[in-house]
Chains A and B, each alone.
Chain A
Amino acid sequence: MSVGLEHYLVLSAVLFSIGLYGVLAKRNAVVILMCIEIMLNAVNIALVAFSRYVVPMLLTGQIFAIFVIVVAAAEAAVGIAIIIAIYRNRQSVDVDKFDLMKW
């Protein structure tokens, strides 16, 4: 069986699940941000695969992927700024210690 749309979608699903595990289980805020980037990249693979196999002449999937990349860049900048601001206050990037807004 030659490689087709399903292979790319399964690869994307595997990467997304790995990223989701990292986001849920890790305690270092920078590692959580890295795992969010993995999830966004997994979604991009699925979008580009749909663009290649379903509408090869329209390229709408690739344009969606470009917008996802732009939002990911903005998210990384703001996320790292928040992490560094919290680190200045609490001398830690451990999300278990970010409990200022807990009831």
Chain B
Amino acid sequence: MFDIVFWILALVTVGAALAVVILRDVFRAALSLVLLFLAIAVIYITLYADFLAVVQVLIYVGAISILIIVSIMLTREVWHGSPTGKLRIPAIVVSLLLLGTMVFTVINTNWETSGEPPLQPTTAAIGTSLFGEGGFILPVEITAVLLLAAVLGAIVLIREK
């Protein structure tokens, strides 16, 4: 049962990613990107990461895809489509080489997996290790500064003169 779910999800994600790259229509590519984000949220559920699945739906499906669709509409370049440049063949070669290297490495490495059952639900444990004693509190604070800088930078870049 679990295996069937994984294979269906693998087909959907790879198909949606290929559609993003291949489709000529930018808007349809953006919609298949939304499908890809949703399928990845379901992949997180099969990996027992319930909190991350909800975060994925909220941030990627809710926010980033809207941002991308709005930017497609603002730039009014939809009828130009998404053509490939002069570097199409070298790009295919480089991607296939990287894919071959990564798959070879993954298959030939003896991964030491732990047989323990996964922790669930994960929300309380993630909260404890993000904000708790000896956790990741300093990176969380730095992330807040990063987000503030990103928002300010976006406003400064996009402001009318």
List chain A positions with a Cβ less than 8 A from chain B. 2-11, 13-22, 24-28, 30-31, 33-35, 37-38, 41, 44-45, 48-49, 51-60, 62-63, 65-67, 69-78, 80-85, 87, 92-96
Measured CA separation A76–B149 after assembly (Å): 13
Let me know if A38 and B17 touch, CB within 8 A.
yes
Q: Which of A25, A80, A95 has the most CB atoms of chain B within a 10 A radius of its CB?
A: A25
Query: How far in angstroms is the closest Cβ of chain B from A20?
Result: 5
Let me know if A41 and B80 touch, CB within 8 A.
no
Given contacts A22-B21, A41-B37, contact A11 B85 (CB under 8 A): no
Contacts of B107 in A (CB 8 A): 6, 10
Let me know if B106 and A6 touch, CB within 8 A.
yes
* Contact among A16, A17, A60, A80 for B68, CB-based, below 8 A: A80
Contacts of A37 in B (CB 8 A): 33, 60, 64, 68
What does DSSP make chain A's interface, helix, strand, loop or mixed? helix
Let me know if B136 and A63 touch, CB within 8 A.
yes
CB closest residue in chain B, given A21: B95
Measured CA separation A31–B153 after assembly (Å): 22
Contacts of B90 in A (CB 8 A): 24
Contacts of A2 in B (CB 8 A): 2-3
Q: Which of B10, B21, B26, B153 has the most CB atoms of chain A within a 10 A radius of its CB?
A: B21
Contacts of A34 in B (CB 8 A): 20, 29-30, 33, 68
